[in-house]
Amino acid sequence: MKAVRFHETGGPDVLRYEDADQPVPGAGEVRIQVAGSAYNPADGGIRGGFLPIPITLPHVPGYDVSGTIDALGEGVEGLTVGENVVGLIPMSADGSAAQYVVAPANVLVKAPTRIPLADAAGLPSVGLTASQALFEAGDLGAGQRLLINGAGGPVGGYAVQLAKRAGAYVIATASPRSREIVEAAGADETIDHTATSVLDAVTEPVDVLLNLAPITPGGFAALVARVRDGGVVVSTTPTVTTPGDEERNVRAVTIFVHPDEDVLSNLVALIDSGDLHVEIARRVPLSELPAIHEHAATGEIHGKVVAVPPAV
């Protein structure tokens, strides 16, 4: 099969589009003929050796997958050969940047039918991150005020949609480039952070502050002043400590996405009902994935990119 792999960690130039052995599913696993493999910034971190995730070299990146089951391992129940699925697969195992990938059966759910199967790869990690940040960590509910710092990226797009659906009032920061997408997702207020101070623009306290953007420790701490007493600060940025305020009972939570079959199934149902929109910025052949890593390293990737393997 064709796959993108790296035999050593380093820059984008270590990636190779090459032949690799087709994987065989073990007990509790299935093999998927890949329709789509989504690129995520963490793929670059794993490839570069910056993230503390144990991998075996050579390694196939890609932990978001959509595709069709073509083989079942021993003991797999509830899934069938020929079924279209989507899932967040382990980052430490060989990933979806290939024609075939093996995945644990318990992280997969039926793929949405309303959108192309390849596009469904743009859902799992970012959709789960948004849901887990808002509801598991933030306890967001109807009538609450939410400030999303950095809403213009893929996670932000899902977060705005899910928060609005939950009945929250959403204030989102975005650059002019992504303002239209954020507003289309349903934000009640949009702040152009390139032209306006967020601290000046947000005059009333918020219940939940969700940070999705690179931020300095000082800038992050300053935003906590806009969170009401007893509120919560949630962040997906592990390189900066998430600040809280013990005196005002403002708690701090850093989110690390994890598989959740029930939540992912609910997100798929929302897509199929038309209540959740999947935004794919680009679809590229799998052979061009090394170039996507290169562009991402120089800040040229905006939005979700899905790599599509050649037909088998």
In CATH terms, the fold of domain 126-254 is Rossmann fold (3.40.50)
Joined tokens for residue 270: 């929302």
Please name the amino acid found at residue 162: L
CA distance 126 to 120: 11
High-pLDDT (> 70) share of the chain, % = 100
Residue 208 pLDDT: 98
CA distance 229 to 179: 30
Residue 131 has pLDDT above 90, yes or no: yes
The CA–CA distances, whole Å, from 219 to 137, 211, 214, 241 equal: 21, 11, 10, 12
Question: What is the arithmetic mean of pLDDT over 29-57?
Answer: 95
Contact 287, 263 (CB under 8 A): no
What's the chain's Rg over C-alpha atoms?
20
Question: What is the arithmetic mean of pLDDT over 181-209?
Answer: 90
Average pLDDT, the chain: 95
User: With bands split at pLDDT 50, 70 and 90, how would you rate the model's confidence at 56?
Assistant: very high
Residue 155 pLDDT: 94
Please name the amino acid found at residue 215: I
Question: What is the arithmetic mean of pLDDT over 170-194?
Answer: 90
CA distance 267 to 118: 16
Residue 48 pLDDT: 94
Residue 193 pLDDT: 81
The pTM score is 0.95
CATH 3.40.50.720 in the chain is located at 126-254
Residue 236 has pLDDT above 90, yes or no: yes
Q: Which has the minimum average pLDDT: 137-151, 182-196, 243-257?
A: 182-196
User: With bands split at pLDDT 50, 70 and 90, how would you rate the model's confidence at 196?
Assistant: confident
CATH 3.90.180.10 in the chain is located at 2-123+278-308
DSSP code for 98: B
Contact 1, 17 (CB under 8 A): no
Please give the class, per CATH, of domain 2-123+278-308. alpha beta
Residue 177 pLDDT: 83
CA angle 214, 261, 52 (to 5 degrees): 40
Please name the amino acid found at residue 229: D
Query: Which range has the top average pLDDT, 182-186, 213-217, 268-272, 276-280?
Result: 268-272
Greater model confidence, 144 or 198: 144
Contact 160, 180 (CB under 8 A): no
User: With bands split at pLDDT 50, 70 and 90, how would you rate the model's confidence at 181?
Assistant: confident
Residue 308 pLDDT: 98
Residue 77 pLDDT: 93
